[in-house]
Amino acid sequence: MSRESRPEGGLLDAGLEGLSHNFLTGTLEELVKWARSHSVMPATFGLACCAIEMMAAGGPHYDLSRYGMETFRASPRQADLMIVAGRVSQKMAPVLRQIYDQMMEPKWVISMGVCASSGGMFNNYAIVQGVDQIVPVDVYAPGCPPSPETLMHAILTLHQQIRDGELTRRPGHGAGIVIEQVGAPGSTPVALGRN
């Protein structure tokens, strides 16, 4: 519709006829999910080798800011995505869970690299065999370490999940996982998160 033929007064005076552009319709849920998927703010949760690749992904060559992802937040309170980049040790596990609990809903987790996803090659006393035992994971990125391209793919997969998924997912109860160490003499059950 050309400028000349448009009725004067915009939406209020002329109704829908008054609009020529900047016009979208959709369900509220779709719009919220669309907005969410384009402003995911990751927390800097670098642990090991993968953290270097995560930083490289934010660097000039791979340029993560193309996806609206470059603002890595130092405080978990300001972040809604935790990229667990590296192996999670038994000593780090409670810390990781505490940081996850501090993040605001809605929140997502990417498990970056095989160590975070399954313990990788370090199946021993020190490493938690998969971070999904501590926090719920949305996307697993394979590789040791995953190249920045793999991380980007994981992030885009997550964006897709956010757009396609439910709007409200975890109604305020965290993951509700209780972890207990078995077989270790004298150990007490460790309850992580909320019961």
Partner 1 sequence: MTDEAAQDGAGAEGSAATPAPEELFGAPLTRSGGQLVLHPSREQYPLLLRTLHEAGYLSIIDLTGVDYLTHPGRSGLPASVAPERFEVVVNLINHRERARLRLRLQIPADDARLASAIDLYPGTEAMERETFDMFGIEFDGHPDLTRILMPEDWPGHPLRKDYDPGRIPVQFKGAPANR
Partner 2 sequence: MTTTHDTPTNLAQTDEGAQELTSRDVIAGAERLRELGAVLRLSEAEALDAELAQAPDEETMIINMGPQHPSTHGVLRLMLELQGETVLRCKPVIGYLHTGMERTGETLTYLQGPTNVTRMDYAAPLFTELAFSLTVEKLLDIEVPERAVWIRMLMTEMNRISSHLLFMATNGMDLGAVSMMLYGWREREEALRFLQEVTGLRMNHNYIRPGGVAADLPDGWRDGVLRLLDMLPPRLAEYDTLMTNQPIWRERLQGVGVISAEECLALGVTGPILRSTGYAWDLRRDMPYLAFDEVDFDVVVGSYGDCFDRFAIRLAEIRESMKIVRQCLEKMPKGDYRIQDKKVTPPPRARIDESMEALIHHFKIFTEGFKVPEGEAYVSIESPRGELGCYIVSDGSSNPYRMHVRAPSFVNLQTLPHLMHGNLVADAVAIISSVDPILGEVDR
Which range in 18-26, 70-78, 150-158, 172-180 contacts partner 1 by CB under 8 A? 172-180
Amino acid at 92: M
Q: Are the C-beta atoms of residues 112 and 82 closer than 8 Å to each other?
A: no
Pick from 64, 83, 127, 141 the residue near partner 2 by CB under 8 A.
127
Q: Which of 139, 164, 163 is closest to 153 using CA atoms?
A: 139
Q: What angle do CA 130, 135, 138 make, to 5 degrees?
A: 85
130 makes contact with partner 2 (CB under 8 A): no
Backbone dihedral angles phi then psi of residue 96, each to the nearest 5 degrees: -60, -45
In the shown chain, the binding pattern of residues 165 to 194 toward partner 2, with x for contact by CB under 8 A and - for none, equals -------x-x---------------xxxxx
183 makes contact with partner 1 (CB under 8 A): yes
What, of partner 1, partner 2, none, does residue 156 touch, CB below 5 to 8 Å by kind? none
172 makes contact with partner 1 (CB under 8 A): no
Which range in 18-26, 40-48, 56-64, 170-178 contacts partner 1 by CB under 8 A? 170-178
Parallel, antiparallel, or unpaired for β 139-141 and 42-43?
unpaired
